Amino acid sequence: MRPEIVQCGLDHFQEHYAPFQIPEQQVSAILANLFSQKNAVCIKYGEGKGVFKPFDKAALPRNEDDAYRPLKQIVDTVAKAASVVLGDFASTRELNYYLRCCTRTEVDSDISGSEHLVHGAFEKRCLCDSPPETQRKKESSVGWHTVSDHPSSGNIEIRNIAAVCEFNLELEGRPEKIDILDNQENVVSANVQIMNEDPRRMFTYGLTVEGYEMTLWYFCRSHSVMAGKIHLNSPDDFRRLVTIFVSFMFATPEEMGYDPTITAHRAADETQYTYKIPGDNADREGFKDRFFRTVASIDDHSSSNITGRMTRVWKVREMQSAEDDALPVGDDTVHYVLKDVWRDSAAPTEREIQNQIFTDIVKFLSNTSLSDSNLAKLLPLQEKHGHLLKSNAFKRYFMTIIADYKGRETRAYVNDDSSHKYATKRQYRVVYKELCKDVGKLDKLGDVMDVLEEVLIPLQLMHCAGWVHRDISSGNILAYEVGPGGNRRSRWQAKLSDLEYAKRFYPRGEDKDGESKDPKTGTPYFMPHEILTSQYLSAPVPKSSSEDSKEKEKEELKEYQAQRGNGMATVQTQESTVVHNPQHDVESLWWLKLWILTFCVNHPESREWAGLVFRNSLNPSKKRRGAFTSNIDRLLSDKLRPDLVEPFAFSMGRFGGRLREEYIRREQADEVLDLNAYGKVYEIADEFFTDIKESSAWREVPLLKGRKDEPVNAKKRSRPTSNLPDPSCPSASRKRSRGPSKAFDAVLKPSKRAKACIDSCHASHRAT
Is the model's pLDDT at 744 over the cut of 60? no
Lowest-pLDDT choice from 13-17, 69-73, 280-284, 526-530: 280-284
Q: Which of 121, 117, 78 is nearest to 101 (CA)?
A: 121
Burial tier of 13 (Cβ tally within 10 Å: 0-12, 13-18, 19+): buried
Cβ-contact 81, 41 below 8 angstroms? no
**CA atoms lying within 13 Å on the CB side of residue 333:** 0
In angstroms, rounded to a whole number, what is the distance separating the alpha carbons of residues 284 and 458? Answer: 27
> Letter for the amino acid at 597?
L
Does residue 104 sit in helix, strand or coil?
strand
Strand order in the sheet with 290-299: 262-267, 270-277, 290-299, 312-319, 336-344, 425-432, 401-409
Identify the pLDDT of residue 37: 87
In angstroms, rounded to a whole number, what is the distance separating the alpha carbons of residues 201 and 220? Answer: 9
Cβ-contact 230, 436 below 8 angstroms? no
Q: Which residues contact 112 (CB under 8 A, 6 or more apart)?
A: none
Domains of the chain: residue spans and CATH = 5-249 (no CATH), 261-367+400-415+424-435 (no CATH), 437-730 (1.10.510.10)
pLDDT in tens, 149-206: 444 456 778 888 999 999 988 655 555 555 677 788 888 988 888 998 899 999 999 9
| Alpha helices (H) along 422-481 | 445-454, 456-464
pLDDT in tens, 594-624: 999 999 999 999 999 999 999 988 899 999 9
**Residue 398 DSSP symbol:** B
Q: Which of 665, 226, 716, 753 is nearest to 473 (CA)?
A: 716
In angstroms, rounded to a whole number, what is the distance separating the alpha carbons of residues 261 and 548? Answer: 64
pLDDT in tens, 354-368: 999 999 999 999 999
Q: Which of 379, 353, 377 is nearest to 367 (CA)?
A: 379
Q: Which of 761, 597, 581 is nearest to 673 (CA)?
A: 581
Q: How many CB atoms lie within 10 A of CB 127?
A: 18
Q: Is the pTM of this model over 0.85?
A: no
**How sure is the predictor about 502, in pLDDT bands with cuts at 50, 70 and 90?**
very high
- As a whole number, the mean pLDDT across the chain is 80
Q: Is the dihedral of CA 458, 464, 465, 466 positive or negative?
A: positive
Burial tier of 285 (Cβ tally within 10 Å: 0-12, 13-18, 19+): exposed
